[in-house]
Structure 1
Amino acid sequence: MARVLLTGMSGVGKTTVLDELCRRGFRTVDTDYGGWELPDGTWDEHRMSGLLARHRELVVSGTVDNQVRFYHRFQHIVLLSAPLEVLLRRVAHRSNPYGRTPEQRAEIARYVHTVEPLLRRGATVELDGRREVSELADAVESLVREVC
Protein backbone atom coordinates (compact mmCIF):
# COMPACT_ATOMS: atom_id res chain seq x y z
CA MET A 1 0.00 0.00 0.00
CA ALA A 2 1.12 3.54 -0.63
CA ARG A 3 0.82 7.12 0.54
CA VAL A 4 -0.43 9.54 -2.10
CA LEU A 5 -0.43 13.34 -2.09
CA LEU A 6 -3.19 14.87 -4.21
CA THR A 7 -2.32 18.45 -5.13
CA GLY A 8 -3.37 21.15 -7.57
CA MET A 9 -4.98 24.54 -7.92
CA SER A 10 -8.17 25.66 -6.18
CA GLY A 11 -11.22 24.32 -7.99
CA VAL A 12 -9.48 21.39 -9.67
CA GLY A 13 -11.42 18.80 -7.68
CA LYS A 14 -9.08 17.64 -4.92
CA THR A 15 -11.75 17.64 -2.21
CA THR A 16 -14.30 15.96 -4.46
CA VAL A 17 -11.88 13.14 -5.34
CA LEU A 18 -10.85 12.83 -1.70
CA ASP A 19 -14.51 12.57 -0.65
CA GLU A 20 -15.03 9.74 -3.17
CA LEU A 21 -11.97 7.90 -1.89
CA CYS A 22 -13.20 8.28 1.69
CA ARG A 23 -16.58 6.92 0.62
CA ARG A 24 -14.71 3.89 -0.77
CA GLY A 25 -13.12 3.30 2.62
CA PHE A 26 -9.69 4.87 2.21
CA ARG A 27 -8.04 6.92 4.95
CA THR A 28 -7.97 10.51 3.69
CA VAL A 29 -6.88 13.87 5.05
CA ASP A 30 -7.89 17.18 3.46
CA THR A 31 -5.34 19.62 4.84
CA ASP A 32 -7.59 22.58 4.01
CA TYR A 33 -9.61 21.59 7.09
CA GLY A 34 -8.92 20.44 10.63
CA GLY A 35 -5.97 22.63 11.58
CA TRP A 36 -3.33 21.09 9.31
CA GLU A 37 -2.27 24.52 8.09
CA LEU A 38 -0.58 27.12 10.25
CA PRO A 39 -1.60 30.81 10.09
CA ASP A 40 1.10 31.38 7.43
CA GLY A 41 -0.61 28.85 5.12
CA THR A 42 2.03 26.13 5.48
CA TRP A 43 1.50 22.65 6.87
CA ASP A 44 2.11 22.04 10.56
CA GLU A 45 5.25 20.00 9.91
CA HIS A 46 5.28 18.23 13.27
CA ARG A 47 1.67 17.16 12.87
CA MET A 48 2.15 16.08 9.23
CA SER A 49 5.26 14.09 10.16
CA GLY A 50 3.29 12.27 12.82
CA LEU A 51 0.46 11.47 10.41
CA LEU A 52 2.83 10.06 7.81
CA ALA A 53 4.69 8.04 10.45
CA ARG A 54 1.44 6.41 11.60
CA HIS A 55 -0.09 5.47 8.23
CA ARG A 56 1.33 3.53 5.29
CA GLU A 57 -1.92 3.75 3.30
CA LEU A 58 -3.18 7.30 3.07
CA VAL A 59 -4.34 9.95 0.63
CA VAL A 60 -3.53 13.53 1.64
CA SER A 61 -4.88 16.51 -0.24
CA GLY A 62 -3.43 20.00 -0.21
CA THR A 63 -1.36 22.67 -1.89
CA VAL A 64 0.98 24.61 0.39
CA ASP A 65 4.45 26.13 0.16
CA ASN A 66 6.18 23.55 2.34
CA GLN A 67 4.62 20.37 0.90
CA VAL A 68 7.82 19.69 -1.04
CA ARG A 69 9.52 18.96 2.29
CA PHE A 70 7.32 15.84 2.51
CA TYR A 71 7.53 14.54 -1.06
CA HIS A 72 10.00 11.83 -0.06
CA ARG A 73 7.39 10.45 2.38
CA PHE A 74 4.83 9.83 -0.41
CA GLN A 75 5.09 7.11 -3.03
CA HIS A 76 3.08 9.26 -5.47
CA ILE A 77 2.52 12.98 -5.91
CA VAL A 78 -0.61 13.37 -8.06
CA LEU A 79 -1.20 16.72 -9.72
CA LEU A 80 -4.80 17.35 -10.71
CA SER A 81 -4.93 20.02 -13.40
CA ALA A 82 -7.58 21.78 -15.46
CA PRO A 83 -7.77 24.91 -17.62
CA LEU A 84 -8.17 28.21 -15.77
CA GLU A 85 -11.70 28.72 -17.13
CA VAL A 86 -12.77 25.42 -15.54
CA LEU A 87 -11.20 26.34 -12.20
CA LEU A 88 -12.87 29.74 -12.12
CA ARG A 89 -16.27 28.27 -13.02
CA ARG A 90 -15.96 25.67 -10.27
CA VAL A 91 -14.86 28.03 -7.49
CA ALA A 92 -17.85 30.25 -8.25
CA HIS A 93 -20.27 27.43 -7.37
CA ARG A 94 -18.70 25.42 -4.54
CA SER A 95 -19.31 25.50 -0.80
CA ASN A 96 -15.74 26.64 0.00
CA PRO A 97 -15.91 30.46 -0.23
CA TYR A 98 -12.35 30.90 -1.56
CA GLY A 99 -12.42 32.10 -5.16
CA ARG A 100 -15.55 34.20 -5.13
CA THR A 101 -13.98 37.67 -4.97
CA PRO A 102 -12.26 39.30 -7.95
CA GLU A 103 -9.02 39.43 -5.94
CA GLN A 104 -9.15 35.71 -5.17
CA ARG A 105 -9.96 34.85 -8.78
CA ALA A 106 -6.95 36.93 -9.91
CA GLU A 107 -4.83 35.09 -7.33
CA ILE A 108 -5.95 31.72 -8.72
CA ALA A 109 -5.04 32.87 -12.25
CA ARG A 110 -1.62 34.01 -11.02
CA TYR A 111 -1.06 30.68 -9.23
CA VAL A 112 -1.89 28.72 -12.37
CA HIS A 113 1.04 30.46 -14.04
CA THR A 114 3.47 30.51 -11.11
CA VAL A 115 2.67 27.63 -8.75
CA GLU A 116 1.24 24.96 -11.02
CA PRO A 117 4.48 24.59 -13.03
CA LEU A 118 6.33 23.93 -9.76
CA LEU A 119 3.75 21.33 -8.77
CA ARG A 120 4.08 19.72 -12.19
CA ARG A 121 7.84 19.36 -11.75
CA GLY A 122 7.38 17.53 -8.46
CA ALA A 123 4.48 15.35 -9.59
CA THR A 124 4.89 11.67 -10.34
CA VAL A 125 1.48 11.55 -12.04
CA GLU A 126 -0.72 14.23 -13.62
CA LEU A 127 -4.44 13.69 -14.05
CA ASP A 128 -6.92 15.83 -15.96
CA GLY A 129 -9.32 17.22 -13.37
CA ARG A 130 -12.07 17.44 -15.99
CA ARG A 131 -12.43 13.64 -15.97
CA GLU A 132 -15.32 12.05 -14.09
CA VAL A 133 -14.79 11.89 -10.34
CA SER A 134 -15.12 8.11 -10.38
CA GLU A 135 -12.36 7.82 -13.00
CA LEU A 136 -10.04 10.10 -11.02
CA ALA A 137 -10.74 8.17 -7.83
CA ASP A 138 -10.08 4.88 -9.69
CA ALA A 139 -6.70 6.21 -10.84
CA VAL A 140 -5.70 7.36 -7.35
CA GLU A 141 -7.02 4.13 -5.81
CA SER A 142 -4.78 2.10 -8.11
CA LEU A 143 -1.78 4.13 -6.90
CA VAL A 144 -2.70 3.60 -3.24
CA ARG A 145 -3.07 -0.14 -3.80
CA GLU A 146 0.38 -0.51 -5.36
CA VAL A 147 2.71 -2.74 -3.41
CA CYS A 148 5.77 -0.74 -2.46
Structure 2
Amino acid sequence: MSVVLLTGMSGTGKSTLLKHLKDDGNVTVDLDYGGWMIYHDDSGEYILDVARVIELIRSRSEENIFLAGTAVNQGQIYPYLDAVVTLTAPLHVMKERIMQRTDNPFGRSDSEWRKIVQDKEDFEALIIKGSDLTIDTTQPVTDTIDEIYRYIK
Protein backbone atom coordinates (compact mmCIF):
# COMPACT_ATOMS: atom_id res chain seq x y z
CA MET A 1 0.00 0.00 0.00
CA SER A 2 1.02 3.63 -0.42
CA VAL A 3 1.61 6.60 1.83
CA VAL A 4 1.03 9.88 0.01
CA LEU A 5 1.37 13.49 1.11
CA LEU A 6 -0.93 15.96 -0.64
CA THR A 7 0.63 19.36 -0.24
CA GLY A 8 0.16 22.84 -1.62
CA MET A 9 -1.10 26.27 -0.75
CA SER A 10 -4.43 26.95 0.93
CA GLY A 11 -7.27 26.70 -1.56
CA THR A 12 -5.65 24.17 -3.89
CA GLY A 13 -8.05 21.38 -2.91
CA LYS A 14 -6.28 19.29 -0.28
CA SER A 15 -9.29 18.93 2.03
CA THR A 16 -11.70 18.28 -0.83
CA LEU A 17 -9.47 15.51 -2.16
CA LEU A 18 -9.17 13.97 1.31
CA LYS A 19 -12.96 13.73 1.58
CA HIS A 20 -13.19 11.89 -1.75
CA LEU A 21 -10.24 9.63 -0.95
CA LYS A 22 -11.81 8.74 2.42
CA ASP A 23 -15.07 7.89 0.64
CA ASP A 24 -13.01 5.45 -1.46
CA GLY A 25 -12.02 3.63 1.76
CA ASN A 26 -8.56 5.10 2.26
CA VAL A 27 -7.08 6.27 5.54
CA THR A 28 -6.92 10.08 5.40
CA VAL A 29 -5.42 12.61 7.78
CA ASP A 30 -5.75 16.38 7.52
CA LEU A 31 -2.52 17.48 9.17
CA ASP A 32 -3.94 20.94 9.91
CA TYR A 33 -6.24 19.50 12.59
CA GLY A 34 -6.00 17.13 15.52
CA GLY A 35 -2.63 18.11 16.89
CA TRP A 36 -0.53 17.07 13.90
CA MET A 37 1.00 20.55 13.83
CA ILE A 38 2.81 22.07 16.80
CA TYR A 39 3.71 25.69 17.42
CA HIS A 40 7.42 26.39 17.03
CA ASP A 41 8.38 29.23 19.36
CA ASP A 42 11.60 30.15 17.55
CA SER A 43 10.02 30.66 14.13
CA GLY A 44 6.51 31.61 15.20
CA GLU A 45 5.17 29.03 12.72
CA TYR A 46 3.28 25.81 13.07
CA ILE A 47 5.40 22.84 12.10
CA LEU A 48 4.61 19.21 11.53
CA ASP A 49 4.84 16.87 14.53
CA VAL A 50 7.21 14.60 12.63
CA ALA A 51 7.45 11.85 15.26
CA ARG A 52 3.67 11.53 15.45
CA VAL A 53 3.30 11.32 11.65
CA ILE A 54 6.02 8.68 11.39
CA GLU A 55 4.32 6.68 14.14
CA LEU A 56 1.03 6.81 12.19
CA ILE A 57 2.74 5.67 8.99
CA ARG A 58 4.43 2.75 10.71
CA SER A 59 1.19 1.64 12.38
CA ARG A 60 -0.79 1.46 9.12
CA SER A 61 1.49 -0.43 6.74
CA GLU A 62 -1.33 -2.45 5.11
CA GLU A 63 -3.51 0.50 4.04
CA ASN A 64 -3.27 3.47 1.70
CA ILE A 65 -2.69 6.58 3.77
CA PHE A 66 -3.28 10.02 2.33
CA LEU A 67 -1.94 12.90 4.42
CA ALA A 68 -2.71 16.51 3.54
CA GLY A 69 -0.94 19.62 4.71
CA THR A 70 1.91 21.99 4.17
CA ALA A 71 4.61 22.85 6.68
CA VAL A 72 8.15 24.17 6.52
CA ASN A 73 9.52 20.92 7.96
CA GLN A 74 7.49 18.47 5.86
CA GLY A 75 10.63 17.25 4.11
CA GLN A 76 11.51 15.36 7.29
CA ILE A 77 8.75 12.84 6.55
CA TYR A 78 9.61 12.39 2.85
CA PRO A 79 11.76 9.27 3.48
CA TYR A 80 8.66 7.55 4.91
CA LEU A 81 6.40 8.42 1.95
CA ASP A 82 5.77 6.69 -1.34
CA ALA A 83 4.79 9.93 -3.05
CA VAL A 84 4.60 13.67 -2.52
CA VAL A 85 1.89 15.28 -4.62
CA THR A 86 1.81 19.06 -4.91
CA LEU A 87 -1.54 20.57 -5.76
CA THR A 88 -1.57 23.89 -7.57
CA ALA A 89 -4.16 26.35 -8.82
CA PRO A 90 -4.16 29.94 -10.04
CA LEU A 91 -4.61 32.59 -7.35
CA HIS A 92 -8.09 33.57 -8.52
CA VAL A 93 -9.25 29.94 -8.20
CA MET A 94 -7.67 29.60 -4.76
CA LYS A 95 -9.38 32.79 -3.59
CA GLU A 96 -12.77 31.66 -4.91
CA ARG A 97 -12.46 28.30 -3.13
CA ILE A 98 -11.36 29.92 0.12
CA MET A 99 -14.31 32.31 0.06
CA GLN A 100 -16.78 29.47 -0.64
CA ARG A 101 -15.60 26.88 1.87
CA THR A 102 -17.58 26.44 5.05
CA ASP A 103 -15.27 24.29 7.17
CA ASN A 104 -12.19 26.51 7.34
CA PRO A 105 -12.24 30.31 7.51
CA PHE A 106 -8.49 30.69 6.97
CA GLY A 107 -7.65 33.03 4.13
CA ARG A 108 -10.72 35.21 4.19
CA SER A 109 -9.17 38.16 5.97
CA ASP A 110 -6.95 40.53 3.98
CA SER A 111 -3.89 39.69 6.09
CA GLU A 112 -4.40 35.93 5.73
CA TRP A 113 -4.93 36.26 1.98
CA ARG A 114 -1.73 38.30 1.68
CA LYS A 115 0.12 35.53 3.54
CA ILE A 116 -1.25 32.90 1.14
CA VAL A 117 -0.19 34.98 -1.87
CA GLN A 118 3.27 35.55 -0.38
CA ASP A 119 3.66 31.86 0.53
CA LYS A 120 2.71 30.86 -3.01
CA GLU A 121 5.33 33.21 -4.37
CA ASP A 122 8.01 32.22 -1.85
CA PHE A 123 7.47 28.49 -1.39
CA GLU A 124 5.39 26.86 -4.12
CA ALA A 125 8.34 26.34 -6.49
CA LEU A 126 10.37 24.78 -3.65
CA ILE A 127 7.55 22.41 -2.78
CA ILE A 128 7.13 21.43 -6.42
CA LYS A 129 10.87 20.77 -6.71
CA GLY A 130 10.64 18.23 -3.89
CA SER A 131 7.51 16.56 -5.25
CA ASP A 132 7.03 13.41 -7.23
CA LEU A 133 3.92 14.69 -8.98
CA THR A 134 2.37 18.13 -9.48
CA ILE A 135 -1.30 18.46 -10.37
CA ASP A 136 -3.22 21.57 -11.45
CA THR A 137 -6.48 21.18 -9.56
CA THR A 138 -8.58 23.33 -11.87
CA GLN A 139 -9.61 20.04 -13.48
CA PRO A 140 -12.56 18.08 -12.02
CA VAL A 141 -11.88 16.45 -8.63
CA THR A 142 -12.44 12.98 -10.07
CA ASP A 143 -9.73 13.61 -12.69
CA THR A 144 -7.30 14.70 -9.99
CA ILE A 145 -8.03 11.57 -7.95
CA ASP A 146 -7.62 9.38 -11.02
CA GLU A 147 -4.26 11.02 -11.70
CA ILE A 148 -3.11 10.31 -8.13
CA TYR A 149 -4.25 6.68 -8.29
CA ARG A 150 -2.51 6.16 -11.63
CA TYR A 151 0.72 7.50 -10.15
CA ILE A 152 0.73 5.34 -7.02
CA LYS A 153 -0.30 2.07 -8.66
* TM-score, structure 1 normalization: 0.93
2:43 equivalent to 1:63: no
- What displacement does 1:129 show? 1.0
| SS at 1:42 equivalent | strand
Q: Which has the higher strand share?
A: 2
Identity of aligned residues (%): 34
Question: Hey, what's the Cα distance between the residues in 1 that align with 2:50 and 2:3?
Answer: 17
Ranges of 4+ aligned residues in structure 1 off by more than 4 Å: none
> Within the alignment, does 1:47 sit opposite 2:52 as a pair?
yes
The structural deviation recorded for 1:43 is 1.1
Task: Specify the SS of the correspondent of 1:39.
Answer: strand
Counterparts of 2:70 and 2:92, CA distance in 1: 19
Give the secondary-structure state (helix, strand or coil) at the position aligned to 1:92: helix
- Provide structure 2 residue ranges, at least 5 long, that are not aligned to the other structure: 41-45
Partner SS, residue 72 of structure 2: coil
* 1:131 and 2:131 matched: no
Partner of 1:142: 150
Distance 1:21 1:142 in 2: 14
**Structure 1 residues 48-88: Cα deviation after superposition (integer angstroms, max 9, x where no partner):** 11011112321110101110111111111000001111111
The DSSP-based 3-state class of the residue aligned with 1:115 is helix
Task: Give me the whole-angstrom Cα distance separating, in 1, the residues matched to 2:18 and 2:117.
Answer: 23
Offset, 1:39: 2.1
Q: Distance in 2 between matches of 1:32 and 1:137?
A: 21
CA contact (8 A) 1:30 1:61 kept: yes
Give runs of aligned pairs for residues 1-148 of structure 1, distance below 5 A: 1-40=1-40, 41-56=46-61, 57-95=64-102, 96-144=104-152, 146=153
Q: Deviations over 1:120-148 (max 9, x none)?
A: 1101001111111111112223344x2xx
> What's the counterpart of residue 43 of structure 2?
none
Unaligned stretches of 5+ residues in structure 1 = none
TM-score of the aligned structures, taking structure 2 as reference length: 0.90
